[in-house]
Structure 1
């Protein structure tokens, strides 16, 4: 046989063998997963809403995967410390991030020299749940509707105040989104935390707030706050009479504070898919959905591709808004 032809056939045979072997290798790449305890890192303090839902998820995943799943709280720097820990972890699916919208899309536009890039250093596993916002006004104010708020804010630019949990928080950004979409000017009053801001809206020291719905429901039902609209795509279960912003002809105000489960970049696709399928099964359980609702969230599963698109889209949305408004972190 011609030596050149022989060498060519050998190369061809090697390529064919590799082509046959690759699907088998991919199929088997999750065969040993999980092989040890899975850790879900919550970059916020224990006892909060995120921590509560993470523990609900961890319990469900433990049963689905027949493997221990624990929650670790690694706090600091608005979640950046915990996120960096996961970004630097071995990409094998055993260390995961409970990633909030702020952490995954907002922080990198607020903080300089972040030691990780949420878009490059993580692989989205699944969208987990959403936290709707509600636009509330002090009940004693003559603001009966969303349109009233817009009209009065335009008539008195900068004289109606809105409180937030701090610069760059979701309660601030939704307020900035409101001003951007309606061209109405409000006065932003940042607080150090959600509680003090909400207390001052109830007391009448500030006028309105773009609050996460779970925080305001009690005050709305007690008559201390008037709910003008929710920013979610559908009405909120415990506020069924409050219209959505889209119903009121302001679809550009539609947004929720979502949370995704993320793995370090480079985690095998088969492992990501196995985790996503387990998450889907957990969130399909009506009892789990009810527990998440009690904690202020609405279960909303989406797989890896949709979750990735969500992160990328909101990174662009909030990044451009932060730049246009000149927002910086506290």
Structure 2
């Protein structure tokens, strides 16, 4: 039931194209390229998601794509490439023709953590991709089994510090935000327990519910469903403030670990050579969708945060700040992929 409801959130009805193409050309005369002037008339747009169906990024991609299609008058094909912590998706978009027809749903895992995880890095992400638009931010909810005796986060921390060998936590693939948040948490409380990575964070939640794991930091956008259904018990959310969707859950800072903030985010990125005119048009349309009352409300109800609209330059600056903060943290965990 829980998995079906989570997948239902992702499997949105296939949108029907009803609006005409953009009425004004992106370039008036003699622009950077004929393709830029004609975009988006050449065919479907691939929106590549670097995680599996039903996950955080996939849900958001499908919500936004459904609203974006009629605005630009072009079909958007959401494609899931989850292999290698999302590196396959990152490579595919980095090497795609920079014509506005192949885009990446870029998250902290692909655009930040992987820079620290892969040696060597298959592509220079900082150089091969550029920011297009920001969609939302997604903190983690610290979930435990409903039968766990811990009543508060402080109770759980005390038990782990006393007997770390009795605990284990699960996450999505190594280096994803679900893993890094758990590693940061253990570092902050000064203990170490067994880490069990899964191909998808939803699989870790399944084993948590079955009593096979001690805790999981799961993205709020998917964890909210399990919390509301009573399938797991939340001890805190790794956000700067309580979430509107689940205001009863304290922040981890409130619960006893000051200044603990860790969240992923969903943005749209494009190959670095994509013309400014196309990037600006995409940015304008995505911002219009995400900042609309209906979609803002929907994303917030799913347990995420919708920041103010950003320009492409502001998205790139956001990537830069996130890298400055989190690359040292990821390297500090010792996690590595090849």
RMSD: 3.0
| CA contact 1:49–1:295 (8 Å) conserved in 2 | no
Larger mean CA deviation between 79-88 and 41-50 belongs to: 41-50
1:327 aligns with 2:338: no
Distance 2:225 2:40 in 1: 42
Choose which of 259, 281, 296 in structure 1 pairs with 2:266.
259
3-state SS of paired residue (1:188): strand
1:317 aligns with 2:325: yes
Match of 1:12 in 2: none
Choose which of 298, 303, 320 in structure 1 pairs with 2:311.
303
Displacement after TM superposition at 1:45 (Å): 4.4
Match of 1:228 in 2: 235
After TM superposition, list the pairs within 5 Å mapping 1:281-296 onto structure 2: 281-292=288-299
Larger mean CA deviation between 122-131 and 50-59 belongs to: 50-59
Larger mean CA deviation between 158-167 and 102-111 belongs to: 158-167
Structure 1 unaligned residues grouped into runs of 5+ = 1-23
| CA contact 2:205–2:216 (8 Å) conserved in 1 | yes
3-state SS of paired residue (1:128): strand
The structure having more radius of gyration, on CA atoms, is 1
Match of 1:130 in 2: 137
Structure 2 unaligned residues grouped into runs of 5+ = 1-26
| CA contact 1:40–1:69 (8 Å) conserved in 2 | no
3-state SS of paired residue (2:253): coil
Task: Give the direction of change, closer, same or farther, for the CA distance of 1:187–1:79 in structure 2 (3 Å limit).
Answer: closer
Task: Give the direction of change, closer, same or farther, for the CA distance of 1:251–1:259 in structure 2 (3 Å limit).
Answer: farther
Displacement after TM superposition at 1:158 (Å): 4.4
Displacement after TM superposition at 1:294 (Å): 6.5
| CA contact 1:143–1:149 (8 Å) conserved in 2 | yes
3-state SS of paired residue (1:197): helix
Larger mean CA deviation between 29-38 and 71-80 belongs to: 29-38
3-state SS of paired residue (1:247): helix
Q: TM-score w.r.t. structure 2 length? A: 0.78
Match of 2:111 in 1: 104
Per-residue CA deviations over 1:216-267 (Å, capped at 9, x if unaligned) read 3344345443211101233223321001123346454212111110111132
Distance 2:237 2:55 in 1: 22
| CA contact 1:55–1:71 (8 Å) conserved in 2 | no
3-state SS of paired residue (1:302): coil
Distance 1:286 1:108 in 2: 35
Match of 1:20 in 2: none
Choose which of 80, 86, 89 in structure 2 pairs with 1:79.
86
After TM superposition, list the pairs within 5 Å mapping 1:125-164 onto structure 2: 125-164=132-171
Which runs of at least 4 in structure 1 moved beyond 6 Å after TM superposition?
A: 24-27
Per-residue CA deviations over 1:271-317 (Å, capped at 9, x if unaligned) read 32222121111112222234445766444443323322332233333
Distance 1:96 1:191 in 2: 26
Aligned residues: 306
